[in-house]
C-alpha cells in the first residue's frame, strides 16, 4: 500500500471525549472516560478483552448514545449530528463485517459513497474517482468483481477498508483492523492509514504494532482509562503486568530502534 496521493483526504478536527459513560440496562460498561485524539494523529485503544474498547469506539462514532458525558469532533457534538452528516465525517471499520446480500466486492466499496450520493444506486458515476483511489490504497482493485461470499477474511477486511476510505471521512475508527491479515498486510494497513492525514482511532491487541504506528495510546481496563500518553510513557513492564497479567520486558529493539514487548513464559520454568 504505497504511492499515496497527497491531499486526497484531510482531517476535519480532533476528537475530544469528556466524562463518557455508557451501559446496557443495569450494567455500566464505560465509566467516566475522558481522552483527546488530536487532529491528524493516530490514537491506539489498548486493553484486554472486555475492557470496553469496542463499546468506546461505537459511542465515539455516534452509533450508541452515551448515558453521560460528550464526544466532540472539532467544536461539534457527535451525537447532535444527523446520521448522514456523521457518515460523511466519520468512517468505522468493524472487527467483523458480513452480509447475506449477493454483492460483489466493488458494490460493497460503493456503499461508502451513500452519504454523498443519497439513495444508492442513484448517481453511481458520482464518486468514481474516490472509489478507484480507495481501492488502490487498500490494494483490492483486483477483487472488484469477486462475490463477497467468496472472499477470505483478510480480503473482506481490506475491502471494508476501501469502503471506509470511499466515504472520504475526516475521522477513521478501526476495531481490530489487523484481524485476519497476515503480518505483511497488518503492517501495510497500519502504515497506509497513518499516512492518510486523517484523525485515526484504532482498537488494537498487538502492543508492538501499537507502539510502532500510534502517536498516542489509551489503555482501558474494566471500562476505565488507566493510562494515556505517548507509547514510551504508556507501554511499561509494570503496565503490561498490571493490565494484562503478563510479566514482560519492554525495551527498544537493537536493530529497528522501535519499542517492543517481550513476554516471559512463566510456564517454562
pLDDT in tens, 97-107: 667 778 999 99
| pLDDT recorded at residue 173 | 97
Task: Classify residue 8: in a domain, yes or no.
Answer: no
Looking at residue 2, its pLDDT comes to 39
Query: For position 7, what pLDDT does the model report?
Result: 39
Q: Contact at 8 Å (CB) between 44 and 216?
A: yes
Residue 71 resides in a domain = yes
Asked, for residue 1, whether it belongs to a domain, the answer is no
Q: Looking at residues 232-237, what average pLDDT do you find?
A: 95
Calculate mean pLDDT across residues 119-138.
77
List the one residue out of 197, 188, 193 whose CA is nearest residue 175: 193
**In this structure, what are the phi and psi dihedrals at residue 128, rounded to the nearest 5 degrees?**
-60, -40
Least Cα distance to 36 among 67, 12, 58, 15 occurs for 15
Query: Quick one: pLDDT at residue 6?
Result: 36
Say if residue 5's pLDDT is above 50: no
Q: What is the CA radius of gyration of the chain?
A: 19
Maximal C-alpha separation, the chain: 65
Residue 211 maps to a domain: yes
Burial of 63 from C-beta contacts in 10 A (0-12 / 13-18 / 19+): middle
If pLDDT is split at 50, 70 and 90, which confidence band does 232 have?
very high
Residues 6+ apart with CB under 8 A from 117: 123, 124, 126, 127
pLDDT confidence of residue 9: 58
- Assess if residue 23 is contained within a domain: yes
Q: Which pLDDT score, from 0 to 100, does residue 17 have?
A: 97
| Cis upstream peptide for 121 (omega within 30°) | yes
- Write the pLDDT tens digit of every residue in 176-188: 998 888 898 899 8
% residues pLDDT > 70 (the chain): 90
Residue 139: domain span: 15-268
Between 121 and 62, whose confidence is greater?
62
* Beta pairing class for 76-77 and 42-46: unpaired
**pLDDT for the residue numbered 119:** 58
Output the pLDDT for position 116. Answer: 85
CA distance 10 to 135: 18
pLDDT-derived band at 95 (thresholds 50, 70, 90) equals confident
- What pLDDT sits at residue 181? 86
pTM of the model: 0.88
Closest by CA to 206, choosing from 228, 184, 178, 182, is 178
Beta bridge partners of 21: 68
Q: Total domain count for the chain?
A: 1
pLDDT confidence bin for 11, thresholds 50/70/90 = low
Find the CATH number of the domain harbouring 202.
Answer: 3.40.50.300
Instruction: Tell me the C-alpha distance between 240 and 261, whole Å.
Output: 9
Average pLDDT over residues 202-231: 96
User: How large is the average pLDDT for residues 47-75?
Assistant: 95
According to the model, what pLDDT value does residue 185 have?
87
Q: Give the per-residue pLDDT at 269.
A: 41
Q: In what order do the strands lie in the sheet with 76-77?
A: 27-37, 15-24, 68-73, 76-77
- Whether the predicted pLDDT of 156 surpasses 70: yes
Using alpha carbons only, give the angle 196, 181, 161 rounded to the nearest 5 degrees: 35
How far apart (Å, rounded) are the C-alpha atoms in residues 210 and 44?
6
Mean pLDDT, the chain, as a whole number? 88
Q: What is the pLDDT of residues 238-268, one digit of tens each?
A: 999 999 999 999 988 877 788 888 888 755 4
Amino acid at each position: 500500500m504505497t504511492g499515496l496521493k497527497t491531499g486526497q483526504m484531510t482531517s476535519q478536527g480532533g476528537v475530544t471525549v469528556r466524562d463518557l459513560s455508557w451501559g446496557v440496562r443495569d450494567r455500566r460498561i464505560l465509566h467516566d472516560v475522558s481522552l483527546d485524539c488530536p487532529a491528524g494523529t493516530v490514537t491506539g485503544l489498548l486493553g484486554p478483552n472486555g475492557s470496553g474498547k469496542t463499546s468506546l469506539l461505537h459511542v465515539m462514532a455516534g452509533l450508541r448514545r452515551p448515558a453521560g458525558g460528550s464526544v466532540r469532533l472539532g467544536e461539534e457534538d457527535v451525537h447532535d449530528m444527523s446520521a448522514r452528516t456523521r457518515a460523511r465525517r466519520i468512517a468505522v471499520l468493524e472487527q467483523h463485517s458480513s452480509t447475506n446480500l449477493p454483492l460483489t466486492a466493488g458494490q460493497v466499496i460503493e456503499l461508502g459513497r451513500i452519504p454523498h450520493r443519497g439513495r444508492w444506486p442513484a448517481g453511481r458515476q458520482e464518486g468514481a474517482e474516490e472509489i478507484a483511489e480507495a481501492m488502490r490504497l487498500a490494494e483490492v482493485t483486483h477483487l472488484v468483481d469477486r462475490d463477497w461470499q467468496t472472499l477470505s477474511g483478510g480480503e473482506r477486511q481490506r475491502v471494508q477498508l476501501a469502503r471506509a476510505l470511499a466515504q472520504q471521512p475526516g475521522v477513521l475508527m478501526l476495531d481490530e483492523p489487523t484481524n485476519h491479515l497476515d503480518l505483511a498486510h497488518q503492517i501495510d494497513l497500519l502504515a497506509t492509514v497513518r499516512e492518510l492525514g486523517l484523525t485515526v482511532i484504532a482498537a488494537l491487541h498487538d502492543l508492538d504494532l501499537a507502539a510502532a504506528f500510534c502517536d498516542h495510546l489509551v489503555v482501558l481496563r474494566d471500562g476505565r482509562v488507566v493510562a494515556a500518553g505517548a507509547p514510551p510513557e504508556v507501554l511499561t513492564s509494570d503496565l503490561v503486568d498490571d493490565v494484562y497479567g503478563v510479566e514482560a520486558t519492554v525495551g527498544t529493539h537493537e536493530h529497528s530502534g522501535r519499542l517492543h514487548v517481550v513476554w516471559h513464559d512463566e510456564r517454562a520454568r
